[in-house]
Amino acid sequence: MKKLTLKNCRQADALLLDHTFIDQYMPEANGEYVKVYLLLLRLQADPDRVLTVSAIADILDDTEKDVVRALKYWKKQGLLDYDLTEEDSPAAGSAPAQEPPAQPDPAPGSQADAPPAQAGKADPGSREELRELLFIAEQYLGKTLSATEMKAITYFYDELGMSADLIEYLIGYCVENGHKSMHYIQKVALSWADRKITTPAQARQSAAFYSKCCFGVLKAYGITGRAPAAPELDYIRRWTGEYGFSDEMILEACRRTMSSIHQPSFDYTESILKSWLESSARSLKDVEALDLAHEKKKQARSSSSRSRRTAADTQKAGRNRFNNFEGRNYEDMDDLTRRLIQNQ
């Protein structure tokens, strides 16, 4: 058991908080840290009470590690100092039993055959791991978790069968991309469960695919604020997997789609990529060559069409009403004049 002895505290003579703590320290501190600090002030008023880390953890329903983290935090802030001494550990079974967190109802949109809870998740060690995970989640989100948020994380752990490492990566990934909403984190978790993602390495690979290609496609279409839908993901996976196109080829096809029809269309982009696939175009240089050949054919067709129109116009002009009779052939004008004089 770890015994705690306070050596110096800002409020040594009274149980009160000064304005400096409230204005400067409290807004930046984790909610659990503030609870530990306030409890320490309360316990100071009762000098006969044994002050131990385990006792504080029991009162606040925290883990001893959580309490130690809080003490280290406030010591670093310069608000208290303490000594921790090792004493005999309590006898086995003397610690109060902890009731496991309540299981949440299945999340909206989750499948009925979600992966069962992993073996051993109900033992005390796994409960301790879950408590640490909840604490880490608070650090990422920058706030004390609500009951709903804790139930959601417990659902990831117990029902979806995610490891603590994977859940930690999940929350960090979402926060780094600007999403602190537990609703959004839950949707990503369900998506990973559907795709059988079980390790952070698999999640990183999936995240790279989303970041580089999927969200690039949505951005090229002018779509923001949402992840790709399942049918849209099928298109993108086919373009990258079955067709084997690079990201730049796919994004170029998306840009041409918007330029041609002025609206997002995965079907139209599919037709462009299929035509490139049939023409064995595997790079933007190949596409430029196809464009040049297409332009030459277009010019040739245009020139041929102009030639046909010119010939038709000439033939039509030859049949106008001024040329629908046979013209007269006049003799030499001098000879004609001589004949006219002789006939007079």
The pLDDT of residue 116: 40
What letters, b where the CB count within 10 A reaches 16 and e where it falls short, cover 28-50? Answer: ebbebbbbbbebbbebbeeeeee
Residues 279 and 290: their CA atoms lie apart, in Å, by 8
Mean pLDDT value of segment 76-85: 76
The pLDDT of residue 202: 87
pLDDT over 70 at 86, yes or no: no
With tokens 């969200």, the residue in question is 215
Mean of the per-residue pLDDT values of the chain: 76
**224's torsion region: left (phi>0), alpha (psi -120 to 50) or beta?**
beta
Burial class (CB in 10 A: 0-12, 13-18, 19+), 243: middle
pLDDT over 70 at 13, yes or no: no
- Map out the domains of the chain as residue ranges: 2-86, 111-198, 216-296
Mean pLDDT value of segment 36-46: 78
Structure tokens at 333: 């004008």
What are 98-141's pLDDT values in tens digits? 333 344 444 444 443 444 444 334 455 567 888 889 999 999 99
